[in-house]
Structure 1
Amino acid sequence: MKLRWHKGNSVRLLENGEGFYPRVFEAIEAARSEILLETFILFEDEVGRELQQRLVAAARRGVRVSMLVDGYGTPPFSDGFLAPMAEAGIEVRSFDPGAQPMGIRLKLFRRMHRKLLVIDGATAFVGGINYSADHLLRSGPEAKQDYAVEVRGPVVGDIHRFVLDQGVGDAQGDATAASDAQGAAETAFIVRDNQRHGTDIEQVYREAIRGAKRRIVIANAYFFPSHGFLTDLRGAARRGVDVRLILQGEPDMPSVMMAARTLYRQLIGDGVCIREYCTRPFHGKVAVVDDEWATVGSSNLDPLSLSLNLEANLVVRDRGFNGELSASLEQLWMDHCEEVTLEGLDQRPRWPVPQVLLYHVLRKFPRWAGLLPAHTPRTVTLASGGQAPERAASTLASPGH
């Protein structure tokens, strides 16, 4: 795996829905020819409705709009939500949807977990923020802490080509358009799929960890990486690197937090500092290494993201961006996190099975979980070219698989 680095990019950090949605909506309003969007979750709430209205307005003024949502993360759209998009000519597709008996979503594995938006082949957004009101602080104590980036410059060409290659938008369209914006950041776009790039995101993390000289800060919602990843992290701490993990303390999925906690004792024993973010659910997938390297994206550091789901991250080499993200994480570390200590671990309830055994069982999860979906993932067209939703055709396209 070799990263394709591009110089001369401008990268803007966007924190939470308050930072992300205004920039996205502004870019959609300014679109002249094309909007390509991929997202795991799009809810019919205040955020989803505003997105829908802006996409419809763009399509009606002649912009080609294509959207792919995940069939597990995104519930079925109501006719009232989908019909205006169909009438405006927006292409709407769902990745591997399935029956939902009693409202239960069953197809958990191998999800399209990316969050990407490309405007006119010139501006792109990459990150972990979905289109749902629970990314807004005003939504209450369950509001998620999360990050994304807005990027302009040569790397947008790679993101644009990738999204078109997945069948989002016109595959015959111009995949070479790119912004003429100039910036100081050197960036690379990286994905995880179930074909040629199965371990790329993990390997990029591990390379940065092995090369770290002074500090590593990883803030990740779901942390249960491979044995090799943990070995690299512990090795960095043992050679004197300041290694810090910001993990969930008020999770939206408690079982994931419990799995991560099985790793704490060994990590702390080797000098890794761990704090749990306890203000509200943490949904970020970000990291900084030393003074220049950083990444923001959709990939968690757990078996689903590292071995099964379709993911996308942006890797950035730039002191200014690194410093901005570092400052945000430092504020979380100091003001919103609780330190995990060995003494505190001794006071917590113990698992009924040995933690070493549990770890080895859980880390084999991708091997057997990947066998469970006895079908070929597909995309289903919900709306296309003005076609009414109820007559939209199904396709067998399978981006990333």
Structure 2
Amino acid sequence: MLENGEEFYPRIFETIAAARNEVLIETFILYEDKVGKRLHEVLMAAARRGVQIDLTVDAFGSPDLSDEFISSLTGAGVRLHVFDPAPRLFRRVNYFRRMHRKLVVIDGMRAFIGGINYSADHLADYGPEAKQDYAVEAEGPIVTEIHRFMHQAIRDGLPRSHWFQRRHAVPKIPTPPRAGNADALFVWRDNGQHTNDIERQYRVAIRLARKRIVIANAYFFPGYTFLRDMRKAARRGVEVCLILQGKPDMAIVQTAAAMLYHYLLRGGVKIFEYCDRPLHGKVAVVDDEWATVGSSNLDPLSLSLNLEANVLIRDRDFNRQLSDKLQHLMNHSCKRIETQDLTESTAWRQVRSFFLFHVLRRYPSWAGYLPAHAPRLASLPEAAIEPDGADRLDDKAIQ
């Protein structure tokens, strides 16, 4: 378990510095701040000693990388891929269907999965807006699954050609031996055959819960069936605790979640708002064994549009470790929301109830009718960066 950038970044940079053969990274956000520059430094050093590096970033989440930052990476041999590339003027227009995963695999032997991007706002010294978040470092057979998935994502996203097939063949590596007693499952959401895998695993765990459920999620606005499962669990005697943003990074996040408060509180769900700083985590524990950590929020974007990845862990020690961290948040950094704290009018509650029943109960099935597009990557060779510093991608690189 790795909490916040203080624990996550040193492990990532240390592991990349020790890499011998290969580094795979996917991230939604890569900023050219002190964290991004440190990542750049260790990737450059690894590439120069012959390590093969594939770095995939989202064009919407990482729109402002300079020519120098990019060209120095590609010049050193880093294969830089941009998800859904667009000209600078339009990079922040397409908000939907983003590559939101945060994954790392080193030498096919060690993987990192979670919600932490490469930006200084995941460090406490960033100030009051520093984010609270989590990631997992994993060894064992699950790493092979994530390694295969990341290579396949590159192959599926880039144009097919004979040269491409030879350059981006999925390498076959020996499966690492079991590294401990935990069972783990890698799950993802895409716009193809795995549109609801993460949500389904959450709902199965909630339905099987017997004692306790704690969900900490930054952006919470799931479908009606998810909310109904939470209420049913509470009504059969399960302690159901929900940790949400009390100091949101976007005001609409708290407004949307608050629309659900009456419905959940009446069903026996306990709601806590984390008030120390923005909550960015996407984690949960159920009973004494089940836990999940990943990139997927429980909102329309993550559950129906974005590309996401979580790891499910069945292990008492890990469950206890994450449970203790979440309990500490509830005890020391959260405000518990009670029914008397909700002051909106009865008329507004009736409007909201109508919305919840007649609209939200149909979500996320209606999201499938929205336009979808296949993942598209642009590989950026050194020649794709214009020498005049205009920060534009060569047409050939994005076709």
TM-score (norm 1): 0.89
For residue 34 of structure 1, what is the aligned residue in structure 2?
Answer: 22
The DSSP-based 3-state class of the residue aligned with 2:304 is: helix
For residue 4 of structure 1, what is the aligned residue in structure 2?
Answer: none
Instruction: Confirm whether residue 330 of structure 1 aligns to residue 327 of structure 2.
Output: yes
Identify the range of structure 1 (77-86 vs 197-206) with the bigger mean alpha-carbon deviation: 77-86
Instruction: Confirm whether residue 230 of structure 1 aligns to residue 227 of structure 2.
Output: yes
Match of 1:157 among 141, 144, 161: 144
The DSSP-based 3-state class of the residue aligned with 2:248 is: coil
CA drift at 1:293: 0.4
Instruction: Confirm whether residue 123 of structure 1 aligns to residue 110 of structure 2.
Output: yes
CA drift at 1:143: 0.3
For residue 125 of structure 2, what is the aligned residue in structure 1?
Answer: 138
Report the AA paired with residue 276 of structure 1: E
Q: 1:65 to 1:363 in 2, by over 3 A?
A: farther
Report the AA paired with residue 22 of structure 2: E
For residue 399 of structure 1, what is the aligned residue in structure 2?
Answer: none
Distance 2:138 2:345 in 1: 43
For residue 266 of structure 1, what is the aligned residue in structure 2?
Answer: 263
Distance 1:348 1:119 in 2: 54
Report the AA paired with residue 148 of structure 1: A
Distance 1:365 1:30 in 2: 45
CA drift at 1:151: 0.1
Q: 1:43 to 1:350 in 2, by over 3 A?
A: farther
Instruction: Confirm whether residue 380 of structure 1 aligns to residue 378 of structure 2.
Output: yes
For residue 6 of structure 1, what is the aligned residue in structure 2?
Answer: none
Report the AA paired with residue 44 of structure 2: V
Q: 1:162 to 1:39 in 2, by over 3 A?
A: same
The DSSP-based 3-state class of the residue aligned with 2:277 is: coil
Contact 1:121 1:175 in 2 (8 A): no
For residue 394 of structure 1, what is the aligned residue in structure 2?
Answer: 397
Q: 1:15 to 1:374 in 2, by over 3 A?
A: closer
For residue 50 of structure 2, what is the aligned residue in structure 1?
Answer: 62
CA drift at 1:171: 3.2
Q: CA RMSD in A?
A: 2.3
Contact 1:43 1:132 in 2 (8 A): yes
Q: 1:194 to 1:394 in 2, by over 3 A?
A: same
Q: 1:358 to 1:214 in 2, by over 3 A?
A: same
Distance 1:361 1:347 in 2: 21
Match of 1:293 among 265, 290, 294: 290
Distance 1:33 1:192 in 2: 28
CA drift at 1:76: 3.4
Distance 2:294 2:324 in 1: 18
CA drift at 1:361: 4.2
The DSSP-based 3-state class of the residue aligned with 2:342 is: helix
For residue 159 of structure 2, what is the aligned residue in structure 1?
Answer: none
CA drift at 1:182: 1.8
Q: 1:377 to 1:189 in 2, by over 3 A?
A: closer
1:283-318 residue CA offsets vs partner (Å, 9 max, x unmatched): 000000000100000000011101110000000000
The DSSP-based 3-state class of the residue aligned with 1:309 is: coil
* Unpaired segments ≥5 residues, structure 2: 156-163, 387-393
CA drift at 1:376: 5.2
Report the AA paired with residue 44 of structure 1: E
* Unpaired segments ≥5 residues, structure 1: 1-12, 397-401
Distance 1:127 1:85 in 2: 24
TM-score (norm 2): 0.90
Distance 2:264 2:258 in 1: 10
Q: 1:363 to 1:260 in 2, by over 3 A?
A: farther
The percent identity for this pair of structures is 55
Distance 1:374 1:32 in 2: 38
Matches within 5 A, 1:275-290: 275-290=272-287
1:80-116 residue CA offsets vs partner (Å, 9 max, x unmatched): 1111101101011110122443x87101111100000
Distance 2:260 2:293 in 1: 23
Distance 2:329 2:126 in 1: 19
For residue 195 of structure 1, what is the aligned residue in structure 2?
Answer: 192
Matches within 5 A, 1:348-367: 354-359=351-356, 360-361=358-359
Contact 2:59 2:91 in 1 (8 A): no
Distance 2:14 2:231 in 1: 43
Distance 1:364 1:107 in 2: 24
For residue 39 of structure 2, what is the aligned residue in structure 1?
Answer: 51
